[in-house]
Structure 1
Amino acid sequence: MAEKKILLVVTPQGFNDSQYEVCRRLFERRGHKVSVASLTGAARGEAGLAIPVDMAIKDVKSYDYDAMVFLGGEGARLLFDDDSARKLAKDAKYKVIAASDKAVVLLSLADALDDKKVTGPSDSISWILKGKAQYTGEPIRIDDKLITVQEPAMSEQMANAVLAALEK
């Protein structure tokens, strides 16, 4: 398979460190180019992992990427009210797109879940339903090119589902 471009979207603070590491490792191991976008020029995970950021979310051109992965963690809430993050999520809805735990709410707020079957954390069900999605409660849900997971423990499965969707 030819090299694909995958964007990892993280928050400046509070993204899930292990999820970032698992996804990046699996994507790069398959020969794909991984870039990182956030609200600021650097990001720090919940457990303290500091990572460089390649670009600001507001500068991302969705057409430059084959897939976008919105990583969860408590910090995902920082993206909920950010217009550029919502725009990116909405623009990405026709690509391979994945979101984990709290990041699923961003997709809902961006109207990127219309009529899709999704999962996410149980404390976010009302937000997901407001986004006109059908909540399944499964650990992972794949609906065409949309992959959602309830929690970071499903990171490897999410990354593999992104890779499978890219191969179609």
Structure 2
Amino acid sequence: MPKLENAKILIMSTDGFEQSELEYPLEHLRAAGATVHVASLDGKPVKGWDGADWGNSVDADLKISDVKVDDYIALVLPGGQINPDLLRVEPDAVNLVRDFISGDKIVAAICHAPWLLIEAGVIKGREATSYPSIRTDLENAGANWVDREIAIDNGIITSRSPKDLEAFVAKIIEEVREGEHHRDAA
């Protein structure tokens, strides 16, 4: 059983992430002992969205195109409307999600971030939740949408919104402690 002290977790983001949905997992996963890296499109800092305006910037550790999936046990995808909408049209970002899933890694997406799961073609037939406004998108992609703070299906964790962050991060920690998740393709 892996300990968080030995776990490397990746957060993938670009500008427009929901401030709390990147900062809360980053802070709490590091506090639990994990090494957490942030990957952005260009390897430069990304700026959050907080309430009705731009928020804080977060430094990136590497470019999405330079990520080696085997270096990590989990991928965390913060939401917000802007961040996942920008990432889902970037082939490197979509391929990275697909590679984490096919590599039996944990993937955790909150709020609007399940758009990336849809774009990667990995959510069909799986139970998932999200921000209510993308419920139809998930259902049209073949997901079984549920309205609860956490949905987990074979190592794919989804949550609805910032109000679910405590449960979201607790579930990531629990799943990391369990290790890799061997799964069937969506």
Which TM-score band applies after superposition, normalised by the shorter structure? over 0.9
Question: Are positions 1:59 and 2:61 aligned together?
Answer: no
- Give the distance between the partners of 1:71 and 1:125, measured in 2 at CA: 17
Deviation by residue 1:25-79 (Cα, 9 ceiling, x = unmatched): 1111111100001113110000311111111112212111000000101222111
Unaligned runs of 5+ in 2: 179-186
Moved over 2 A (4+): 129-132
Identical aligned pairs, as a percentage?
29
- Give the distance between the partners of 1:123 and 1:18, measured in 2 at CA: 19
- Give the distance between the partners of 1:66 and 1:29, measured in 2 at CA: 17
Partner AA of 1:60 in structure 2: V
Aligned to 2:13: 10
Question: Are positions 1:92 and 2:100 aligned together?
Answer: yes
Question: Are positions 1:149 and 2:149 aligned together?
Answer: no
Between stretches 50-59 and 131-140, larger displacement belongs to: 131-140
- RMSD of aligned residue pairs (Cα, Å): 1.3
From 35, 50, 64, give the equivalent of 2:57: 50
Aligned to 1:139: 149
Instruction: Give how far 1:103 is off.
Output: 0.6
User: What TM-score, normalized by structure 1, do the two folds share?
Assistant: 0.93
Contact 1:112 1:131 in 2 (8 A): no
User: What TM-score, normalized by structure 2, do the two folds share?
Assistant: 0.85
- Give the distance between the partners of 1:78 and 1:167, measured in 2 at CA: 31
Deviation by residue 1:101-138 (Cα, 9 ceiling, x = unmatched): 11111111101213210001222123212332211122
Partner AA of 2:175 in structure 1: A
Partner AA of 2:6 in structure 1: E
Instruction: Give how far 1:19 is off.
Output: 2.1
Aligned to 1:130: 140
Task: State how 1:13-52 maps to structure 2 within 5 Å.
Answer: 13-40=15-42, 41-47=44-50, 48-52=55-59
- Give the distance between the partners of 1:4 and 1:25, measured in 2 at CA: 15
